[in-house]
Amino acid sequence: MKQRLVFVDLLRGWAAIVMIEVHVFNGFLLPAIKEERWFGLLNYVNGLVAPAFLFISGFVFVLTSERKLEEYRTFGSLFWKQLQRIALVWTIGYGLHLPFFSFTRILRETDERGWLKFYQADVLHCIALGLTILFILRIIVLEARRYQNVLAWISAALLLVAPIVWDIDFNRWITAPFGAYLNGQHVSQFPVFNWLAFLTLGGISAMRFGEARNSGREFDFFKSLTYLGGTLIVGGILIRELPFRFPLASNAIRVNPFFFAERTGIIFVLLALCWWYASARKTERSFVIDASKESLMVYAGHLLVIFGQFSGETSLWSLYGGQLNLGGASIATTLLIAVFIVAAKLWNVFKSKHPEESKMASYTFFTVLVVLFFVRSH
């Protein structure tokens, strides 16, 4: 993107920052504290992180793809670069769930539960699959309005089918790596139904925003988005509280279409607020934007710090999980956020000033990881 959209960076950056708090508080806070009433509210707010990431991923992909369509459709260099980016997201997603950082140990020691954890669909898996679908469809579907309609139909199908398939054990009929993408019966936290709909709605929103920007109606777009978001929030809360339940459908709140509408409404409002803030402040530099620019590094890095097993079978989570009081968890969260904001800033500056050297550093880093993975035996 030649000119960054600051409001997009703000939403994605805050999602990345809050994500660190989510994993620290959920992983290290004393169980008794999680029973307090305020934690339920915090948990609700934390539950917006994944939808925001998925929505922004679809939004950014579709918006930036519009100026690359010709080369995508002729299978030029940008086509292959996009495939590489998607493959990287998928690779990191699976890499973060390796049972052991050793190919030998995986083959010898991984039990059924370990393989299910490895196969699980997490946020990165859902993003990678969603971007693959958006990518292929944008190449096939030539007309922009038709592309929006296709995404709308996919979104509706994901939402309506989710409650029906949520309680089905697909591993009885298909292999576990594919069954993991369909529902949460086996470990998966972010399967296709209905999480992928956040990403497709992000794509639709990007198309609408692009039309508004080209016609000079950005203010009207975000005004309408705010009203629509408020309607979805109120309507979703009111309707999902009704005693009516759909027949043959799961009662799980995570796949309730009205709960989805409620969260989508909040994301619409947050996106509009970020746009108004960015328009008023006219700023393009902040620690939030730094986190946004390197959100994938922040995502993977903080999970490795918390859950990575770098010495035998131990990790920070295995040592201190569920043992911190509110003050300790707050300090740990603040320190980890500060570390990754500084790391994101330094890496982004290095990439800007030394693009070739940064690419070489990235390739070297991943090559070393791959070699270690295959040569380690413990």
228-256: per-residue pLDDT in tens?
A: 999 999 998 888 777 766 677 788 888 88
Percent of the chain having pLDDT more than 90?
73
- Model confidence at 60, pLDDT cuts 50, 70, 90, reads very high
pLDDT bracket for residue 1 (50, 70, 90): very low
- Could you give the CA distance from residue 125 to residue 181 in angstroms, rounded to a whole number? 8
Contact 27, 321 (CB under 8 A): yes
Cα–Cα distance for residue pair 36/43, rounded to 1 Å? 11
Q: Does the reported pTM lie above 0.85?
A: yes
Backbone angles phi, psi at 308, to 5 degrees: -65, 135
Instruction: Tell me if 72 sits within 8 A of 78, measured CB to CB.
Output: yes
CB-CB contact of 10 with 274 (8 Å)? yes
Cβ-contact 345, 297 below 8 angstroms: no
Average pLDDT over residues 128-152: 94
What is the C-alpha separation between 378 and 104, in angstroms, rounded? 8
The whole-chain average pLDDT of the chain stands at 91
How far is CA 13 from each of CA 6, 215, 233, 288, 294, rounded to the nearest angstrom?
10, 28, 23, 5, 9
More confident residue, 3 or 146: 146
Mean of the pLDDT values across residues 131-147? 94
**What are the two backbone dihedrals, phi and then psi, of residue 253, each rounded to the nearest 5 degrees?**
-65, -30
pLDDT given at position 4: 76
**Amino acid, res. 61:** F
The residue type at 14: W
| Banded model confidence at residue 10, pLDDT cuts 50, 70, 90 | very high
The predicted pLDDT at position 311 comes to 63
pLDDT of 255-292, one tens digit each? 888 899 999 999 999 999 999 999 888 777 889 999 99
- Residue 302 main-chain phi, psi, to 5 deg: -70, -30
Supply 44's token pair.
Answer: 């609700």
Least confident of 171-185, 189-203, 238-252: 238-252
Q: Are 53 and 127 in contact (CB under 8 A)?
A: yes
Q: For residue 85, report the phi and psi dihedrals to the nearest 5 degrees.
A: -65, -45
Q: Which helix (H) or strand (E) holds 109?
A: helix 103-109
Of 148-162, 300-314, 343-357, the range with the lowest mean pLDDT is: 300-314
Length of the chain: 378
Sole residue written with tokens 């040569």: 375
